[in-house]
Each structure stands twice: as structure tokens, then as C-alpha cells.
């Protein structure tokens, strides 16, 4: 079974700021301990970046903090959004692991009016582990913010699908 999601939905946040919520479920035929070890492995994170075909990328694991920097081409982005992001998009993902099975996640786009914040949780049941990623994506651009948020949600969903595929192969070794 591939990743499942609840799909992006628009929600209202504090202060009236709109955002798009993305919930994505990824399943692995492995224990939570094995999935945690995989997510804590710099080589795994770099393998995911390679398969995602980023222009440039790096991953570092420093204790309970995982940082992934990636530069993606904006070639596939509609022209209305490309005028805001340019030819390439730098995304900095930071995971602060608060326990072996949960992390606070932040995706920043330095110099751009958007970010995604949320959580990552691992839950083991019957020999398999489900990774649940919940992100609130916000882009503070009048009139176009919602469209760009949904575009970002699609990019993140595709990236997570690749991560799950690489993860399943990694765990099967």
C-alpha cells in the first residue's frame, strides 16, 4: 500500500491567517525502532534526496536534529508562482525529535513568504509502522497564497511518496 493522505484542506489559524493542512500517512513493514534508525541515518536521507532529483541537496543528523537542505528546480511550477520563487527553490527542512517516535517539523523557504510547520509521528502495530506527517502550509501573498499553498502541498506529497519508496527498499535490505 502506498502512502495515504487526507488531502490538503484549507483551515483557519490564529489571527485569521489561512493555511493549507497536509496529512500524509506512510507505512513500512518494519518496527518503529527500525524506521526511527532509518530516519536517523544520514545516508538514507541523502539517498532520498538523490531519488527526488533535487538540483542540490545535503542532509545532516546532529543528535536529535535532522536538517535537510535541498534546491529544487522551478521548471514544473506554474508561471504565476514562478514569479515569486525564481528559477530554483531552496527548502530547509528541520526535524527536532522530541522522542524516538515523534518530531516537530519545519520547512522554511528562506527569503520567501512561506513555510510549513507540523509534526511527524511513528506508530507501530502488528509488525508494521505508520509514519504520520501533518503540516500546516502558509504562504503570505495576498490573493495567490492559497493557490501556492496547494502547489507546495502537492510537491511535499510527491517528495514523501519518494521517501516512502526509498524507505521500503532500505528496510528490505
Residue 4: phi and psi, rounded to 5, are -115, 160
Q: Is residue 19's pLDDT more than 60?
A: yes
Q: Is residue 156's pLDDT more than 70?
A: yes
CATH of domain 4-172: 3.30.530.20
Task: Give the model confidence (pLDDT) of 50-106 as tens digits.
Answer: 999 899 999 999 999 999 999 988 887 777 777 777 788 889 999 999 999 999 999
Residue 160 has what pLDDT?
96
Tell me which of 141 and 137 has the higher pLDDT: 137
Assessment of whether the complete model's pTM goes beyond 0.75: yes
| Confidence grade of residue 117 (pLDDT, cut at 50, 70, 90) | very high
Residue 143 has what pLDDT?
82
Q: Is residue 13's pLDDT more than 70?
A: no
* Average predicted confidence (pLDDT) for the chain: 88
CA distances to 37, 92, 117, 128, 167 from 171, in Å: 10, 25, 27, 11, 6
> Terminal CA-to-CA distance of the chain, rounded, Å?
19
Q: Which residues contact 60 (CB under 8 A, 6 or more apart)?
A: 42, 66, 67
Q: Is residue 145's pLDDT more than 90?
A: no
Domain ranges of the chain: 4-172
Residue 4 has what pLDDT?
52
Amino acid at each position: 500500500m502506498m502512502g495515504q493522505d487526507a488531502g490538503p484542506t484549507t483551515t483557519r489559524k490564529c489571527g485569521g491567517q489561512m493555511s493549507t493542512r497536509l496529512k500524509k500517512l506512510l507505512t513500512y513493514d518494519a518496527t518503529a525502532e527500525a524506521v526511527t534508525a532509518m530516519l536517523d541515518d544520514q545516508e538514507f536521507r541523502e539517498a532520498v534526496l538523490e531519488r527526488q532529483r533535487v538540483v542540490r541537496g545535503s542532509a545532516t543528523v546532529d543528535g536529535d536534529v535532522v536538517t535537510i537542505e535541498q534546491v529544487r528546480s522551478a521548471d514544473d511550477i506554474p508561471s504565476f508562482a514562478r514569479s515569486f520563487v525564481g528559477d530554483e527553490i531552496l527548502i530547509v527542512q528541520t526535524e527536532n525529535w522530541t522522542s524516538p517516535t515523534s518530531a516537530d517539523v519545519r520547512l522554511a523557504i528562506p527569503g520567501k513568504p512561506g513555510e510549513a510547520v507540523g509534526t511527524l509521528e511513528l506508530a507501530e502495530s502488528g509488525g508494521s509502522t505508520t509514519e504520520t506527517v501533518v503540516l500546516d502550509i502558509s504562504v503570505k501573498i495576498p490573493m495567490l497564497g492559497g493557490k501556492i499553498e496547494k502547489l507546495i502541498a502537492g510537491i511535499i506529497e510527491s517528495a514523501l511518496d519518494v521517501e516512502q519508496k526509498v524507505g521500503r527498499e532500505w528496510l528490505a535490505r
